[in-house]
Amino acid sequence: MSVASSEPLQQSLPLGFVRGEPVIDKPEDLYIPPDALELILESFSGPMDLLLYLIRRQKLDIVDLPILPITKQYMTYVDMMKELKLELAADYLVMAAMLAEIKSRMLLPRPAAIEDEELDPRAELVRRLQEYEAIRQGAQHLDALPQIGRDEFVAHAHTDAQEHVQTVLPEVALAELALAFAQALAHAELQHHHQVHREKLSTRARMSRILDLLQSKQRLAFHELFETAEGRQGVVVSFLAILELVKEALIDVVQIDAYSAIHIAVANRTTGAYAEAST
């Protein structure tokens, strides 16, 4: 995760602990390498974090914030950061200015009449500190919650079920097909060339069947194309289909001698004279 690398690590790196409180003050009598101090100062996630740390360290009451000592200490840290030429976020200076302003307003004598809590110059800062403290707590809660990939892992089993997935083929309704045909003709504005009738369709279907039969056999005896079971109408349809196939030069009708059996065969390409213009 890129955050870890792009954001400075904010975990405190105290010099040590005294009664459970991290010591990150620069003790007067102890030399701290500038590098270490830098790490400490960089570990604050912002001015509110620093301010809250100073208050907590001295067990001060946020609500009755002693603004003078806090401001003084805050400035000491900011000066240290400047001294170490840390890339001091402007936010720290904004806070410094705010503290200075509150301090000066606290020093001004106020008429007793309008002295109430609402007008305490510290009120806004106190509110923000309380809310920030609550949020810090929320952040700790989040960090402590079990996290997927850190504490808990999603369980998976192998399956070959994907092999059972069937390709679902689109459905088509008959009416859709008829509509599509009408649309195709309408688009082409060729309606008058494509008269479709029931009779004609039977003929065209028979044409397909005859061609299909000729796929497997080179030649078919004429009588093979007629089925008596179909009755007179079937004979007519077959005959019309043969005529149409001949007309479209798709088949040849062959008779070797007079009175010999008539055969039909796939049209010889040399004799094919199909006219595209027939439509």
Q: Within positions 210 to 269, which residues make up the interface with another protein, using CB under 8 A?
A: 211-212, 214-215, 248-250, 266-269
Residue (72 or 200) nearer to another protein, CB = 200
Residue (36 or 178) nearer to another protein, CB = 178
Given strand 262-266, what is the order of strands in its sheet?
Answer: 219-221, 262-266, 251-255
Site for another protein in 42-71 (CB under 8 A): 45-49, 51
Residue (85 or 187) nearer to another protein, CB = 187
Largest CA distance in the chain: 137
Residue (117 or 257) nearer to another protein, CB = 117
C-alpha closest to that of 201 among 241, 149, 147, 161: 241
d(CA 99, CA 128): 13
Whole-number minimum distance, CB 150 to another protein, in Å?
4
- Number of residues counted as binding another protein (CB under 8 A): 116
Q: Can you name the residues that pair with 141 across neighbouring β-strands?
A: none
Q: Is 97 in the site for another protein (CB under 8 A)?
A: no
Positive or negative, the CA dihedral 39, 41, 47, 50 is positive
Site for another protein in 150-209 (CB under 8 A): 150-172, 174-188, 190-192, 194-199, 201-202, 204-205, 207-209
**Conformational region of residue 195, where left means phi above 0, alpha means psi within -120 to 50, and beta covers everything else:** beta
Q: Is 13 in the site for another protein (CB under 8 A)?
A: no
